[in-house]
Structure 1
Amino acid sequence: MQLNFKEIFTAFMILFAVIDIIGNIPIIIDLRKKVGHIQSGKASIIAGVIMIIFLFVGKSLLSLIGIDVNSFAVAGAFVIFFIALEMVLGITLYKDDEHSAVTASVFPLAFPLMAGPGTLTTLLSLRAEFAIENIIVAVISNVIVIYIVLKTSSKIERIIGANGINIIRKIFGVILLAIAVKLFAHNIKALLA
């Protein structure tokens, strides 16, 4: 096992941008107001477990239905592209606003908000490019960040403000657009070769 800091950092930043925990602060605050309490630890751990399980069994699931990782990565590039457009243009494509008080920590918080289709697609795309141990470290690092943000979401909102959150979302949206283009270009070459 050889950890590569550059790979860990790149994977961390890609996942951080896709999960968009900072951009989801308004949704988290709204959810907290509706249900009263969110189990930050439970939501973070469940999101992390979903991501790590998918990292290991996602490829097998795909081969079971006859899809190779490069095809999935190209599809993932499109998903990431649309998530990025959503962030940059301030439009809503994926979010579902129906929340249940009983399961708020798991659904919609852990899944699909944090470990949603975009994140899972990104994990498989990352697996095509990076060593698995580096991706796991990046996932765990993101889970820690998710936990801290969930615990301190109201303080963060007060400090950054609505405009600050919007600016951060747009910056990460542009980064994600670039990542989507790179993923698409890298994997389409492998498919056409």
Structure 2
Amino acid sequence: MMELDIREIITVGMVLFAVIDIVGSIPIIVDLRAKHGHIESEKAAIVAAVIMIVFLFAGEELLKLIGIDVNSFAVAGSFVLFFLALEMILGIRIYRDEEASSASIVPLAFPLIAGAGTMTTLLSLRSQYYTINIVIAIILNIILVYIVLKSSSKIEKMLGENGLGVIRKTFGVVLLAIAVKLFAANVKGLFV
């Protein structure tokens, strides 16, 4: 059944905030805006919210339907995060989508906001918390994501080129560590 619990909403919200790491993604967002000209914040936020909510309700069944287990999905997501981190740290460009006029859906909504880490987290949260509380926590996080996406140019101006460079490299290393951790936690499950 459903039971609204503020404590659960706060707990789940904090877990999702840490996994989504929108503040740490600011350098990636600024890079994507520089590459594509603009980011449709509303579209990215709505698509990410829809992906997360749909995956919350149908994720495990959907993965089983196409023959993918959660561990494989998480390992694949770790590779995407790994390459995004390499772009940030080394200043190289791996992701190329010349035809897209914006980066609203790929790679922003998925896999940056609603990526494999977020989705595997949602599956594990679902087993411990009421669904209504998880949905509310998702919506609160998406509102925060939208605010950060909308104000990314102001944040860029405030930090300056050097500040962004330092943050980009620092969070690139953090993102790389998250990718390695996600890989290590799930790769064993592939061989069981």
Same fold (TM over 0.5): yes
Alignment-derived partner of residue 144 in structure 1: 143
Alignment-derived partner of residue 124 in structure 1: 119
Residue 69 (structure 1) shift:
0.9
Query: After superposition, where does 1:103-182 map in structure 2 within 5 Å?
Result: 104=102, 108-109=103-104, 111-117=105-111, 119-131=114-126, 136=135, 139-182=138-181
Alignment-derived partner of residue 75 in structure 1: 76
RMSD: 3.2
Aligned residues: 181
Counterpart secondary structure, 1:143: helix
Task: Return the alpha-carbon distance in structure 2 between the equivalents of residues 138 and 176 of structure 1.
Answer: 23
Alignment-derived partner of residue 29 in structure 2: 24
User: What stretches of structure 2 of length at least 5 have no aligned partner?
Assistant: none
Structure 2 vs 1, CA of residues 47 and 68 (structure 1 numbering), >3 Å: closer, same or farther? closer
Task: Return the alpha-carbon distance in structure 2 between the equivalents of residues 47 and 150 of structure 1.
Answer: 12
Structure 2 vs 1, CA of residues 115 and 18 (structure 1 numbering), >3 Å: closer, same or farther? farther
Give TM-score, length-normalised by structure 1: 0.73
Counterpart secondary structure, 2:37: helix
Q: Note if contact 1:88-1:169 (Cα within 8 Å) is conserved in structure 2.
A: yes
Q: Note if contact 1:21-1:114 (Cα within 8 Å) is conserved in structure 2.
A: no
Q: Note if contact 2:16-2:141 (Cα within 8 Å) is conserved in structure 1.
A: no
Residue 170 (structure 1) shift:
1.9
Counterpart secondary structure, 1:66: coil
Name the % identity: 48
Q: Note if contact 2:52-2:119 (Cα within 8 Å) is conserved in structure 1.
A: no
Q: Which amino acid aligns with 2:116?
A: T
Task: Return the alpha-carbon distance in structure 1 between the equivalents of residues 151 and 47 of structure 2.
Answer: 19
Give TM-score, length-normalised by structure 2: 0.73
Deviations 1:162-189 (A, max 9, x none): 2222222222222222222222222223
Q: Which amino acid aligns with 1:177?
A: L
